Structure 1
Amino acid sequence: MLDVAFGSVPTPVGDVLVAVTGQGVVATSFGDGPAVRRRVLDRLGALEADDPGRARAAREEMAAYFAGRLRRFTVPLDWRLTSPLQRRVLGTLHETVPYGRVTTYGGLADRSGAGVPARAIGSIMGGNPIPIIVPCHRVVAGSGLGGFSGGEGVESKRWLLTLEGYLPPTLDWTL
């Protein structure tokens, strides 16, 4: 049976959970707690692993990212919570939109070759099981930031894009 190791990282946008299988990071989440972990386990039909070391690299990279020291995640990913369409679009995003850059929903639709409209790209971003590492926050609307379903919504998106230098910091912004 599949097992999943969990780890959590305190960040300026709240605790961020990483869930790791033997293949790689299968999920991340804004927020942590028994209910969040149970949802991941239920979606996977998995058990919780008693192996905190398995999540160590993902936790360390996540902490380094939020400290402004990491620009590219290198931990392996486990895409099993994505459909083939999601995998194509999210994989394209992960591989082609680097730290500090953004693309539009329509641009990602074109770049991925998935044959879906920009609105569908928004739905795929909202269902991203590995946010931050697979940077759905780097997908914006042609007329502004667009939406964001992680953390505190668009404010979390704004914070992440400010961290990456895409948006200028506001007077109250802190790392």
Structure 2
Amino acid sequence: MKFKNTTIRSTRIDSTLGGIVLAATDHGLAGAWFERQRHWPDTAGWQVDDAHPVLRQAVAQLADYFAGRRRHFDLPLDLSHGTAFQQTVWQALLAIPIGRTTSYGTLSSDIGKPAAVRAVGAAVGRNPISVIVPCHRVLGTDGSLTGYAGGLERKSALLLLEGAL
């Protein structure tokens, strides 16, 4: 993912599932990536800013989540760096409650594009805000763990933490 025409502030945290790089714009949290995951962003020009208010909120909320003390995130999000279709899919991901899962087909139907299962899958895979925008809650039609940019072992661990497996 390439962020254009905006200043990106970033920080890095450790989690029980590995390091996570967080990014924020003036509009909100714009990214959360596990280190070495697929679709790693171009971080050239990013400014490390551990004191950025949105990043500090994200760090605290993720720490609570991984400790089992948080079930919902309350952060301003900046999803504007995806296409209109990707943004629609990412917004639909936010409606999947913790402890629940859905399939790519159901998600496609939910956004009014039942024939766009592959495109929805591609958009889910390009979700820039891992964990917080819960793409890990999307499973194959048969309930199988399929595709997760952070790795299937992380997807499984996240679903176990949430009580969905």
TM-score band by shorter chain is: 0.7 to 0.9
| 8 Å Cα contact 1:25-1:75 kept in structure 2 | yes
| Higher share in helix | 1
Residue in 1 aligned with 2:124?
125
Q: Which aligned segments of 4 or more residues in structure 1 are displaced greater than 4 angstroms?
A: none
Q: 2:6 aligns with which of 2, 7, 11?
A: 2
- Deviation at 1:21? 1.0
- Deviation at 1:80? 2.0
Residue in 1 aligned with 2:75?
75
- Structure 1 unmatched runs, 5+: 42-46, 168-175
How big is the alpha-carbon RMSD for the aligned residues of Structure 1 and Structure 2?
A: 1.8
Residue in 2 aligned with 1:90?
90
Residue in 2 aligned with 1:173?
none
Residue in 1 aligned with 2:28?
24
> For this pair of structures, how many residues does the alignment match?
155
Cα distance, 1:140–1:3 mapped onto 2, change above 3 Å? same
Written as runs of structure 1 = structure 2, the 5 A alignment for 1:25-104 is: 25-31=29-35, 39-41=42-44, 47-49=45-47, 51-54=49-52, 55-94=55-94, 96-104=95-103
- Deviation at 1:50? 5.4
Local SS of the residue matching 1:8: strand
The alignment's TM-score, normalised by the length of structure 1, stands at: 0.81
Residue in 1 aligned with 2:164?
166
What does the per-residue CA deviation read over 1:55-100, in whole Å, with 9 as the maximum and x for residues that have no partner?
1111111111111111111110011221100011110111x20111
Local SS of the residue matching 2:90: helix
| Sequence identity percentage | 36
In 2, Cα distance between the equivalents of 1:22 and 1:65? 24
Cα distance, 1:76–1:114 mapped onto 2, change above 3 Å? farther
